[in-house]
Structure 1
Amino acid sequence: MKQITTDVTLAASVLRDGGVIGLPTETVYGLAARVDHETAIARVFAIKQRPLSHPLIVHASGVEQCDAWGVLSPIAQVLADAFWPGPLTILVHRTSQISDLITGGRNTVALRVPEHVLARQLIQELGVPVVAPSANRFGRVSPTTALHVLRDLGDAVDLILDGGACTIGVESTIIDCTSDTPQLLRPGALTTTHITQVTGIVVSPATGPSRSAGMLEHHYAPQCRVELFENHETAQASLLQVRQSGQRGSIIDYGADTVAYAHRLYHDLRECDNAAIDVALCVLPPPEGLGIAIRDRLLKASSGEKQ
Structure 2
Amino acid sequence: MSSRETAQPDPREIREAVRLLEAGRLVGLPTETVYGLAADAANDAAVRAIYAAKGRPADHPVIVHLHRRADPLRWAASLPPAARALIEAFWPGPLTLVLPRREGVAAVCAAGQSTIALRCPDHAVAQAVLEQLHGGQGGLAAPSANRFGRISPTRAEHVRAELGEAVAMVLDGGECAIGIESTIVDCSADSPRILRPGGLSAADLARVLGADPQLLQPSARPADAPRVPGALAAHYAPRTALRLREAADIDAEWPARAAAVGVLAPRGAPAGMPPRAHAHWLGLPDEPRGYAHGVYAALRALDAMGLEQIWVQRLPAQPEWDAVRDRLRRAAHGAGPGMD
State which of 189, 193, 202 in structure 1 corresponds to 2:199: 189
> Structure 1 residue 43 and structure 2 residue 49: aligned?
yes
More divergent stretch after superposition (18-27 vs 191-200): 191-200
How do 1:107-146 and structure 2 match up within 5 A?
A: 107-127=114-134, 128-146=138-156
> Structure 1 residue 295 and structure 2 residue 325: aligned?
yes
Q: CA deviation at 1:13?
A: 1.3
8 A Cα contact 2:86 2:208, kept in partner: no
Matched residue SS, 2:64? strand
State which of 212, 216, 219 in structure 1 corresponds to 2:228: 212
Q: CA deviation at 1:92?
A: 0.6
Residues 79/274 of structure 1: CA separation in 2 closer, same or farther (3 Å cut): same
> Structure 1 residue 223 and structure 2 residue 249: aligned?
no
Q: CA deviation at 1:22?
A: 0.4
8 A Cα contact 1:24 1:118, kept in partner: yes
Q: CA offsets, 1:252-302, max 9 Å, x none?
A: 112532222111111111111211122111113223354110100000001
Q: Which runs of at least 4 in structure 1 moved beyond 6 Å after TM superposition?
A: none
Q: Match for residue 268 of structure 1? A: 298
How do 1:273-288 and structure 2 match up within 5 A?
A: 273-288=303-318
Q: CA deviation at 1:65?
A: 3.1
Q: Match for residue 100 of structure 1? A: 107
Unaligned runs of 5+ in 2: 1-8, 268-285, 336-340
Letter in 2 for 1:300: R
State which of 29, 33, 45 in structure 2 corresponds to 1:27: 33
8 A Cα contact 1:63 1:113, kept in partner: no
> Structure 1 residue 166 and structure 2 residue 173: aligned?
no
Matched residue SS, 1:101? coil
Matched residue SS, 1:236? helix
Matched residue SS, 2:162? helix
Q: Match for residue 266 of structure 2? A: 254
Letter in 2 for 1:274: A
8 A Cα contact 1:189 1:290, kept in partner: no
Q: CA deviation at 1:124?
A: 1.1
Q: Match for residue 80 of structure 2? A: 73
Letter in 2 for 1:144: T
Q: Match for residue 62 of structure 1? A: 68
Q: Match for residue 91 of structure 1? A: 98
Residues 236/174 of structure 1: CA separation in 2 closer, same or farther (3 Å cut): same
Q: CA deviation at 1:56?
A: 0.6
Q: CA deviation at 1:241?
A: 5.5
RMSD over aligned CA atoms reads: 1.8
Residues 201/97 of structure 1: CA separation in 2 closer, same or farther (3 Å cut): farther
Letter in 2 for 1:130: L
Q: CA offsets, 1:121-173, max 9 Å, x none?
A: 11111131100000000000000000000000011110001100001100000
Q: CA offsets, 1:70-96, max 9 Å, x none?
A: 122111111111110000000010001
8 A Cα contact 1:254 1:260, kept in partner: no
8 A Cα contact 2:30 2:172, kept in partner: yes
Distance, in Å, in 2 between the alignment partners of 1:288 and 1:173 is 17
- Alignment length (residue pairs): 297
Distance, in Å, in 2 between the alignment partners of 1:79 and 1:120 is 19
Distance, in Å, in 1 between the alignment partners of 2:217 and 2:266 is 29
Matched residue SS, 2:333? coil
Matched residue SS, 1:64? coil
Give the share of equivalent positions with the same residue, in percent. Answer: 39
Residues 91/238 of structure 1: CA separation in 2 closer, same or farther (3 Å cut): farther
TM-score when normalising by structure 2: 0.83
Q: Match for residue 235 of structure 1? A: 250
TM-score when normalising by structure 1: 0.92
8 A Cα contact 1:35 1:130, kept in partner: yes
